[in-house]
Amino acid sequence: MSDIIKLLPDHVANQIAAGEVVQRPASVVKELLENAIDAGASQIKILVKDAGRTLVQVIDDGRGMSTTDARLSFERHATSKIKSADDLFALCTKGFRGEALASIAAVAHVELKTKTENEEVGTRIEIEGSTIKEQEVCATIKGTSIAVKNLFYNIPARRNFLKSDNVELRHVIDEFQRVALAHEGIGFVMYHNDNELFNLQRANKRQRIVSIFGAKTNEKLVPVVEETEIVEIDGFIIKPEFSKKTKGEQFFFVNDRFIKHPYLNHSVNAAFDGLLPDRSRASYFIYLKVDPKTIDINIHPTKTEVKFEDEHAIYNLLRAAVKHSLGQFNIAPILDFNRESNMDTPYSYKDKAVEVPRVEVDRNFNPFETVTSNGRSSHVATYEKKSSAGWETMYEGLDRRTTESSFSSLQIEDEPEGESLFVEHESKGFTENKQTDRDAANTYQIHNKYVVSAIKSGMLVIDQNRAHQRVLYEEFLRNITVKESVSQQLLFPLRLDYSSSELALFSSLKESLENTGFVLDFPEDGILEVSGIPASIQESEVSIVLEQLLSDVEQEVPNAGFSQTDVLAKSMAKSMAVKTGEKLDDLSREHLVNKLFACTEPTLSPFYKKTFITLTVDELDRKFNA
């Protein structure tokens, strides 16, 4: 039998490695930024076009590379970070495997320009699909510039799997923010399609967070500081009243490297127990410093997951540190029966100097002195005895008997009915092609979840949430397409705080949102002003709807057969639909059923779930006769 195991060619092995390391343009951004940081850069510029599909270029002022190093940097497992296996347990750099550049070069066109400080000229290398096309000397400044063009040009299936530009740009910005937050001592500038998105100067941690997420973030931050032999904890948590129902800002950094750690996330949430609004999530920026020998970061290709030597101790220390900050800054209530709460000194007074209180006394004051009509004072104390006459009048009429009850005209106020979910002027009937044998007069609600309607052959059981989602979904699609939405103007416009990346996303969705009834404006950095909302939404629900929209657009499915309009309509329908557990009056139930069967696809919700089921009389008979 002939041998069947063979060594893979280098270009095939690089493409396989690229499948793990380079998942999307954001992966390229992460790897190139980390290489620039390892090179000792103090200023980094990143240029992105078409959300990274066409170009991702990172320019730094770091040490640069010699001609030999520039050539070897594109070989697999070529690295300057480790020399032996023991070095894996004392890593203080970002990259160490030597796979990034080789993997990127296997699936893109790469151009590298680099020069060290001592050399007069630099090196330029051009690579296409792991093949070096050109290598020459060039005139360039100190540092390194890497341009990655036409990502996945030789893997069309992988390129088609990428999501829309809005979603891919969101991932690119996420990676950029994670790196920038972890290295506040480095300046970052980011451009997308020649538009400046970020210009971050060297600063401290608090200033870097504020510069990324907006000036309003400063008042939301609560410091967290704790230093132990096991771990050093630094960073900030967001006050509970500013928490979001979506994922929000949740950042963990270990030794200046962003990580995802559900166990530590549970620790922070445990510290917030009882303080967060319903279904809201804690937001935080937590920086951990541990001994590199006590963690293993080589357990995932993207290096975003780590394994701690003593996770349980770090869990408890982190929870205690967050609880301490919540109590220290009067965020969480403190219960102490042995301490008088009104004797507490506000935290803002901790550095205030002590002042001796001054008491002024009018020594000429005489409480018995009265002023006479001629203006002279008299020291005669007078006491007025109030007359007790007339006290009997207070009890007159109590012993009289009236033949007519005083409660004969008492009116009992009826309990107000719940607001109608739907407007009354809409048609109550079905369209002709949707007419069924349903008895229109009888609808009932079960457990505030299902609407039951009788038909001649049995009965319909309708899921009120899914049915309303279908109604709103088709309504929003129609409004966006026809551009004839109804908007209610707000007396006082809402001003909502968002990061620059979130505002950029709203800007791209502005036209579609206005076609659904929103009226949006961007008066200043970090502020979204809402002056008009759809007629079917309450003012208090605006922020919830917009936060849900951000989350849904971020998780948008690939472009095959889907559009931005579809995602927008689905997201708003999901947020604004009547919820399970909400009681509907007769008119609302009737209207929901009528509108559902007037839809083009009444049987399924926008998320392809059944909206109703039919139980026939025969099926009911079989259950009783079973």
Give the pairing of strands 450-455 and 438-446: antiparallel
pLDDT score of 93 more than 70: no
pLDDT score of 137 more than 60: yes
**317 vs 429 pLDDT, higher one:** 317
Residue 29's CB is within 10 A of a number of other CB atoms, namely 24
Are the C-beta atoms of residues 234 and 287 closer than 8 Å to each other?
Answer: yes
Residues 196 and 271 in one domain: no
Residues 185 and 300 in one domain: no
pLDDT score of 602 more than 50: yes
pTM of the entire structure? 0.67
User: What distance, in Å, lies between the first and last C-alpha atoms of the chain?
Assistant: 65
pLDDT score of 623 more than 80: yes
Alpha carbons 135 and 584: distance in angstroms, whole number: 73
User: Can you give the CATH number for the domain in which 234 is found?
Assistant: 3.30.230.10
DSSP output for 172-195 = HHHHHHHHHHH-TTSEEEEEETTE
Residues 470 and 590 in one domain: yes
Are the C-beta atoms of residues 365 and 354 closer than 8 Å to each other?
Answer: no
Residue 524: the pLDDT is 78
Least confident of 31-40, 82-91, 123-132: 82-91
User: Can you give the CATH number for the domain in which 17 is found?
Assistant: 3.30.565.10
Among 167, 202, 237, the domain boundary falls at 202
Are the C-beta atoms of residues 287 and 253 closer than 8 Å to each other?
Answer: yes
- pLDDT category at 383 given cuts 50, 70, 90 is very low
419 domain residue, yes or no? no
Among 328, 362, 392, the domain boundary falls at 328
395 domain residue, yes or no? no
> What 3 state SS string does 487-501 have?
EEEEEEEEEEECCHH
Are the C-beta atoms of residues 602 and 592 closer than 8 Å to each other?
Answer: no
Give the pairing of strands 226-227 and 612-616: unpaired
Structure tokens at 331: 């965020």
622 domain residue, yes or no? no
Q: What residues does 308 pair with on adjacent strands?
A: 295
**147 vs 544 pLDDT, higher one:** 147
φ, ψ of residue 455 to 5 degrees: the values are -130, 170
Residues 583 and 444 in one domain: yes
Residues 34 and 174 in one domain: yes
205-227 per-position pLDDT tens digit: 999 999 888 878 888 899 999 99
- pLDDT category at 563 given cuts 50, 70, 90 is low
406 domain residue, yes or no? no
Residues 136 and 220 in one domain: no
Residue with tokens 């069967």: 597
400 domain residue, yes or no? no
Least confident of 344-358, 486-500, 526-540: 344-358
Residue 560: the pLDDT is 37
Residue 49: the pLDDT is 93
Residues 150 and 217 in one domain: no
Residues 171 and 225 in one domain: no
- pLDDT category at 348 given cuts 50, 70, 90 is low
Mean pLDDT value across residues 573-594:
87
The total number of structural domains in the chain stands at 3
Are the C-beta atoms of residues 65 and 71 closer than 8 Å to each other?
Answer: no
Residue with tokens 């007159």: 396
Residue 411: the pLDDT is 53
Residues spanned by the domain of 539: 432-616
13-72 per-position pLDDT tens digit: 766 666 667 888 998 999 899 889 988 899 999 999 998 999 999 999 998 998 888 888
Among 328, 349, 365, the domain boundary falls at 328
Are the C-beta atoms of residues 336 and 342 closer than 8 Å to each other?
Answer: no
Mean pLDDT value across residues 160-171:
82
Residue 157: its H or E element: helix 156-160
69 domain residue, yes or no? yes
Residue 484: the pLDDT is 67
Residue with tokens 């109703």: 612
pLDDT score of 392 more than 70: no
334 domain residue, yes or no? no
User: Can you give the CATH number for the domain in which 478 is found?
Assistant: 3.30.1370.100
63 domain residue, yes or no? yes
Mean pLDDT value across residues 349-378:
70
3-state secondary structure of 83: coil
Residues 153 and 182 in one domain: yes
Residues 29 and 140 in one domain: yes
Residues 143 and 249 in one domain: no
Contacts of 536 (CB under 8 A, 6+ apart): 472, 517, 576
230-279 per-position pLDDT tens digit: 999 999 999 888 887 766 688 999 988 888 888 898 999 888 888 887 77
Residues 222 and 173 in one domain: no
Alpha carbons 243 and 27: distance in angstroms, whole number: 29
Alpha carbons 28 and 31: distance in angstroms, whole number: 5
Give the pairing of strands 295-296 and 307-308: antiparallel
Residue 8: the pLDDT is 74
Alpha carbons 95 and 37: distance in angstroms, whole number: 10
Give the pairing of strands 284-289 and 250-254: parallel
Give the pairing of strands 458-463 and 487-497: unpaired
Are the C-beta atoms of residues 550 and 497 closer than 8 Å to each other?
Answer: no
Residue 105's CB is within 10 A of a number of other CB atoms, namely 26
Distance of alpha carbon 410 from the chain centroid: 54
DSSP assigned state of 216: G
Residue 544: the pLDDT is 81
